[in-house]
Structure 1
């Protein structure tokens, strides 16, 4: 394990994803979301496949016993992606990122309901507090139902929240797939699935991008692909309890880039709500770490007992 290197890769990955979102927001009013998904996924395949080849894991790493599971993961993931891209086009970057922090909280709840994972009272309490933070972020954008007819930000906030729901389902599906599937297979088949599903948006209109927009689309795919690789590698080099809280640094990149490029400032509600959500998320990770440290001695003792009996 190399926790410092793993943490560094995680931080760089959040910056790569922020660059991806800036590119998407820049072209959002000129290129349809389905077309953006196509470029994001198709171009991201290049760095991902190159990485597998450099690791000597191609094509062996693409073997799968669960093709239908990959189809479900792709369908759910591409829905989340389209909603997320639509949200980014309508919201300040930092606000959109803050709303999607609901996804890890929903993942905890879905893991208990769908996977039967044990979720203790401390985690449920942290999830409840986190959702209060999400409501604080959402409130200025939603207001009352009439605003959906007149406010693009209200619609963007709804898209971001729905995207979080689908992201949580996607994470549950990924957890299920990791039992039998390699990381390379999960990432590659997700990209391929997104490319294929993106063609469903063709009847709603695609455009021929300008030269500038084309290179922004390329940047979207490259930054997204590299970010995915760095994220995957970071979890190989450090414990999840070390890596997971660093996800919240994305709000910093979102705030800096949003102000620098678009002149956006996060709302006061986004700052307060984000602080609540981040605190609840960090507490969940902290509790998991504490439980791991408590159960490890017992597991080691049991292993020693079995070993001693064998001797």
Structure 2
């Protein structure tokens, strides 16, 4: 099990890189979900991800994990399946930046779940970081939301909020999982078990993909793997309360990618909110790590 890094800024920056990579993958997945349907986009991405990581898992001669760790991988894969389907479906109903903004309720929930589930002490810096980040999201969303929704928009917003609650729990699982497994192992089994979980619906929803979609699906799988490796490394070396606020930087990437790929303008509320989000993340990065109360992982 990896020890806490003496300089939290290092795992913080690694996690930030992982968030940026994951945000780019979200762009690819929105395009795929619109053209293939959400189920097929998520299913095929994880199938390719499991193949790629399986080759890496074997090539690096990773040891097969014991049963109690496999149980953690399986449980997180099931949780991630629900989270992925609901979030990527919401992207087909909402603008990219708006969906990302609504999802920012997750780090706030996860911050306090870390205290309940992991036994972490919620420091003053983490609370201020969360308030700053949430304040930035409020400013940005106030400038983006018109208050006029179609039924599709309402269902999309509901799907984002549901996925955010599941994602908050997923963040806590990520910390617990990273304490007992390496990044390659985590990335392999997550892709494998998400695909395995979704396979139960394959007789009704799975469709073959054409050559035109294969490169984008492969790219999304690779981006997802890179992000998962970076985040797994970071969560093994820093407390969840330090890394959770870095999730807010996803809106910085969303504003950039929304402008590049979806022609969404970068407005003044976006700029002001981004300043608060980054400020909150920097506050969290400067927080000093405190001892973590270890929990019995096999009980998950």
Task: Indicate the larger mover: 128-137 or 75-84.
Answer: 128-137
**Higher percent of residues as helix:** 1
- 2:20–2:253 CA contact under 8 A, matched in 1: yes
- 2:81–2:197 CA contact under 8 A, matched in 1: yes
Using the TM superposition, give the Cα deviation of residue 69 of structure 1 relative to its aligned residue in structure 2, in angstroms: 2.8
- CA gap 1:148/1:200 in 2 versus in 1, 3 angstroms: farther
**1:11, 1:176 → 2: CA distance?**
19
Confirm or deny that 1:30 pairs with 2:35. Answer: yes
Count of matched residue positions in the alignment of Structure 1 and Structure 2: 285
Alignment of 1:147-226 (within 5 A): 147=149, 149=151, 152=153, 154-202=154-202, 205-226=205-226
- CA gap 1:51/1:7 in 2 versus in 1, 3 angstroms: farther
- CA gap 1:270/1:8 in 2 versus in 1, 3 angstroms: closer
* Bigger-Rg structure (1/2): 1
Using the TM superposition, give the Cα deviation of residue 158 of structure 1 relative to its aligned residue in structure 2, in angstroms: 3.3
Q: Which residue of 1 aligns with 2:89?
A: 86
**1:125, 1:14 → 2: CA distance?**
21
Task: Indicate the larger mover: 161-170 or 84-93.
Answer: 84-93
TM-score (norm 1): 0.72
Task: Indicate the larger mover: 90-99 or 19-28.
Answer: 90-99
- 1:105–1:130 CA contact under 8 A, matched in 2: no
Using the TM superposition, give the Cα deviation of residue 167 of structure 1 relative to its aligned residue in structure 2, in angstroms: 1.2
- 1:44–1:226 CA contact under 8 A, matched in 2: no
- CA gap 1:114/1:142 in 2 versus in 1, 3 angstroms: farther
- CA gap 1:127/1:276 in 2 versus in 1, 3 angstroms: same
SS in 1 for 2:27: helix
- 1:19–1:223 CA contact under 8 A, matched in 2: yes
- CA gap 1:143/1:254 in 2 versus in 1, 3 angstroms: closer
Using the TM superposition, give the Cα deviation of residue 194 of structure 1 relative to its aligned residue in structure 2, in angstroms: 0.5
- 2:77–2:193 CA contact under 8 A, matched in 1: yes
- 1:98–1:270 CA contact under 8 A, matched in 2: no
TM-score (norm 2): 0.75
Which residue of the other structure, out of 116, 120, 129, is the alignment partner of 2:119? 116
Instruction: For structure 2, list consecutive stretches of 5 or more residues without a partner in the other structure.
Output: 292-300
Alignment of 1:9-48 (within 5 A): 13-48=18-53
Using the TM superposition, give the Cα deviation of residue 50 of structure 1 relative to its aligned residue in structure 2, in angstroms: 3.7
SS in 1 for 2:35: coil
- CA gap 1:47/1:11 in 2 versus in 1, 3 angstroms: farther
- 2:98–2:144 CA contact under 8 A, matched in 1: no
Q: What whole-Å deviation, never above 9, does each CA across 1:41-100 have from its counterpart, x for those lacking one?
A: 12112333344345432xx15444243333321221111111221233333333333333
Instruction: For structure 1, list consecutive stretches of 5 or more residues without a partner in the other structure.
Output: 296-311
